[in-house]
Amino acid sequence: MSVRIVLNNVEYLKGNISDATCTFTTGITYVIGKNGAGKSSLLKLIATAISPDQGEIEYTRLVKDERTGLYRKQLSVEEVRSMIGFMPQHFTGHSDMTIERYLTYMAFHKGIPRSLVKSTIEKWVKESGLYELRARKLRTLSGGQLQKIGLIQALINQPRICILDEPFEGLDNQEKLFFKSAINRLAFHSVIIMSTHLLEEMEQSATNSLLYLEDGTTRFYGGADEAGKVVGRFEE
């Protein structure tokens, strides 16, 4: 059930996106660019949190039909939303809920079977080092702790499309490793799009992709192992 997202000449003036044209497929695509290049706006557009002024974003998935064989089926906005995990920049969640309550709410919301909710949450909070804090309200958490909740809610149901805005901000090395391995596992069968301003966070393998955004325009799309081609421009 391979999902594909195609952006055609997307324009979103408020977020300074003037011409975004690119294709996202299974695996990780890193979106990089200077401050204000439009990374967060692009991610919000793909997550359907905002709509383009011009151009289109097309979501399809590969479907097997007994009579016609394999074909790409256009997905409705509702279908797309049901398969997206999104962690926005400056994630806050529901500040008056405890970690446990918030993640339970999100797990139900994302369709995790009732019988699996408790064990799924327990596994995530234990492995991410949040177990002792599970009865704390989100508003009492540090930036890094909140970031982990943002990541868990985006990844918890293994979404077919996962959009993460600066996912590793505020995490220590061990926490980064834990979430990176969860994201890498998900990348085998999902479209992962993540922004980062830290080039060292990119895993520069040929299977990962890199999208370089400059002044709201997609300037470079290639293998993440080609980062060297854009690094000079990126760091200017």
Residues that bind ligand ATP (CB under 6 A): 14-16, 33, 35-41, 89, 197
CB of 64 to ligand ATP, least distance (A): 38
Q: Which CB atom, from 128 or from 218, has the smaller least distance to ligand ATP? A: 218
CB of 12 to ligand ATP, least distance (A): 9
Query: In whole angstroms, what is the distance from residue 69 CA to residue 155 CA?
Result: 31
Helix, strand, or coil (residue 32): strand
Q: Which CB atom, from 43 or from 117, has the smaller least distance to ligand ATP? A: 43
Residue type, 148: K
CB of 13 to ligand ATP, least distance (A): 9
Q: Which CB atom, from 37 or from 154, has the smaller least distance to ligand ATP? A: 37
Residue carrying structure tokens 């982990």: 148
Q: Which CB atom, from 3 or from 151, has the smaller least distance to ligand ATP? A: 151
CB 22 within 8 A of CB 7: yes
Closest CA to 130 of 83, 93, 86: 93
CB of 88 to ligand ATP, least distance (A): 10
CB of 6 to ligand ATP, least distance (A): 20
Q: Which CB atom, from 37 or from 75, has the smaller least distance to ligand ATP? A: 37
CB of 17 to ligand ATP, least distance (A): 7
For the record, the structure tokens of 181 come out as 């391995």
Burial 166-187 (b: 16+ CB within 10 A, else e): bbbbebeeebeebbbebbbebb
C-alpha pair distances (Å), 192 with each of 5, 58, 138, 169, 232: 11, 16, 26, 17, 25
Q: Which CB atom, from 15 or from 93, has the smaller least distance to ligand ATP? A: 15
Cα-Cα end-to-end distance for the chain: 40
Residue type, 175: E
